[in-house]
Amino acid sequence: ELSATGTASSSTFLRGDNTWATPSDIGKIKQVVSIRQTGQSANTSSTSYVALHTSPTITPSATSSKILVMWNAWVYCDNNNASVTRTDSMYQLTKNHSSISETVLFQSFFGNVFTENSGMDWIKYENQSIILVDEPSTTEEITYTINGKVGETGTSLYVADGSSSRAWTLIELAP
């Protein structure tokens, strides 16, 4: 039997325990930023980190918001016929806004080790994904970037080839 008195409205509802409550925004999606591109976006032969991809931005609506960050791309490393015993690539996801310097959120590695170094051409393709929840504690515009580098001089790292795609999705979640 219901004993609560009152009227439901856009700001209240009757719960199953016969009490009035206010709806919560916790976990609701506040905004989405999505970028999808095809074709090769970047390559590097640098042994220092360089930006590899279009860097999306998002401006949180509250300092308590969380940002779900998702990045996916086909990547490959090529030894370019160099006499090396491995090709390896390192990636990092960073964020930046006017109140902080570039901050590394995540790092990843992939590559091949060879049994010989005679200069035979080796290419390793792999689908890379990064998915994480960031808690930026700001309402300033945030830029997310994928940086990459190679581990061996003479080798190359590529993000996507001519027909494959890469994608970013940033989702602001209410606190």
Q: How many CB atoms lie within 10 A of CB 165?
A: 13
pLDDT digit string (tens) for 133-142? 999 999 999 9
Name the pTM for this structure: 0.78
pLDDT in tens, the chain (175 residues): 677 777 777 778 777 777 777 777 666 899 999 998 877 667 888 899 998 877 899 999 999 999 999 999 888 888 877 777 777 888 899 999 888 888 999 998 877 776 666 667 777 778 888 999 999 999 999 999 999 898 888 888 888 766 677 889 999 998 7
Can you tell me the distance from the alpha carbon of 48 to that of 60, in angstroms, rounded to the nearest whole number?
31
* Residue 161 vs residues 15, 50, 166: alpha-carbon distances, Å: 54, 18, 10
139: nearest Cα among 69, 58, 68: 58
pLDDT at 115: 63
- Summarised one tens digit per residue, pLDDT across range 110-134 is 777 766 666 677 777 788 889 999 9
